Amino acid sequence: VRVAWWIAERTGNAKVRISYTKTVGAPLDRKTRILLADLFYVNHLTKNRLCVPLNIGYIRSYVEELCGQDVEISMYKDVDLLLKEIKTYRPDIVGFSFYYWNQNLNNYVVQQIRELYGSDVLVVFGGPSVDSEEAEQLKLFNKFPEVDIFVQGEGEAGFAAIVKRVLGGKGSIYGSPIDCSLFLRDGQLMKGENTSTNLDLSSIPSPYLNGSLDQFLKAEYMPLLQATRTCPYQCTFCVEGKERSRLRAFPLEQVKNEIDYICEWNKDRPHVVLNLAELNFGIQRQDPEIAQYLRKVADTVGYPRSVYFYQDKKFRE
């Protein structure tokens, strides 16, 4: 696969970008190696706030569903474990969950990647800190010049489109816009159509039920459960207000099966808080049934003893 290789040189205070092509991708005799990172500062103040990386778990599950025979995916929360893996084996693609509070961790790892492998590794950032405004998107490339592609909106569709473009192996991956993704070509911003919120959530396999998150279901990681995505409100202080779209729900039976799975893992650790990754729990018709099911399981297996969530902002009955 041929991709644009950007080398930044400094001339005084100005950055000059020179572009040419370089081969990136897996040899024909092995799968494309992908690392997904949701990095977190781990210390005595934060160790009790570590959450299962459900975000990259969904991305892994969706990419494996579409390209499973051609990819090998690993996930990381711990920066030291990620760096050890990178130094041992060259990855082909590294995707980072991007929040402004973990940008320095991400940048440090990206610098290590560039020092070891130059531009032979495709670096992708995605998350709520990728703005929907074009002016802000351009600023991202100036602030993070070593990042090749940014994914806009929900990550599954965009990251999968990037992987499929790489696996295609014909011409440059920068030959045309990629859905839900942003990159620079000859200094110009190339934007694919942001269709991320059109994705049917039932098409994303559960990363709990397929075992992708087993390594994180241990004492120091708080489990996350998501039943619904998007928000109907447009609060100016919240990033979700810029991505207003219809409410979408995961299949109810899948959510119940995930509750069973999570609670079985944590039945001997009832003090671990279960986090609902919901913006408005109670807004969907299925939410009362989910709450009742959580109570039933808690009474049966002893977990969870506490659940953390944001309720619907309109305080429905």
- Kindly indicate the confidence band of residue 6, based on its pLDDT and cuts at 50, 70 and 90: very low
Task: Tell me the average pLDDT of the chain.
Answer: 87
Question: How much is the pLDDT for 169?
Answer: 76
- pLDDT of the residue at 28: 56
Q: Which two tokens stand for residue 198?
A: 């059109």
Q: Report the DSSP beta bridge partners of residue 51.
A: 222
Backbone angles phi, psi at 7, to 5 degrees: -115, 125
**What are the residues facing 185 on neighbouring strands?**
188
CB 75 within 8 A of CB 58: no
Residue 204 forms part of a structural domain: no
Domain count, the chain: 2
pLDDT-derived band at 279 (thresholds 50, 70, 90) equals: confident
Share of the chain above pLDDT 70, in %: 87
pLDDT given for residue 125 in this prediction: 98
How far apart, in whole angstroms, are the C-alpha atoms of residue 317 and residue 315?
Answer: 7
User: What pLDDT, on the 0 to 100 scale, is given for residue 5?
Assistant: 32
pLDDT digits (tens, 9 = 90+) for 34-85: 999 999 988 888 877 899 999 999 999 999 999 989 999 999 999 999 999 9
175-198 burial, b for 16+ CB within 10 Å, e for fewer? eebbbbbbbbeeeeebbbebebbe
Higher pLDDT, 306 or 17: 306
Q: Domain range spanning residue 227? A: 220-308
| Angle separating helix axes 54-67 and 155-168, nearest 10 degrees | 40
Give the domain CATH number at 51. 3.40.50.280
pLDDT tens sequence across 217-237: 986 799 999 999 988 887 877
Question: Which of 165, 197, 229 is the last residue in one of the domains?
Answer: 197
Answer whether residue 139 is part of any domain.
yes
Residue 167 has pLDDT above 90, yes or no: yes
CB 90 within 8 A of CB 117: yes
User: How many angstroms separate the CA atoms of 193 and 171, rounded?
Assistant: 21
pLDDT of residue 316: 56
Most confident listed range (2-11, 74-83, 240-249): 74-83
Structure pTM?
A: 0.88
Q: Are 153 and 265 within one domain?
A: no
- Residues 141 and 257 reside in one and the same domain: no
Domain presence at residue 206: no
The predicted pLDDT at position 52 comes to 96
Looking at the structure, tell me whether residues 92 and 12 fall in a common domain. Answer: yes
What single-letter amino acid sits at 223? Answer: P
Strand 32-37 versus strand 224-225 pairing type: unpaired
Instruction: Say which CATH number the domain at 246 has.
Output: 3.30.750
Strands 188-191 and 181-185: antiparallel
Domain annotation covers residue 215: no
Q: Verify that 185 and 230 share a domain, yes or no.
A: no
Q: What is the pLDDT of residues 93-152, one digit of tens each?
A: 999 999 989 999 999 999 999 999 999 999 999 999 998 889 999 999 999 999 999 999
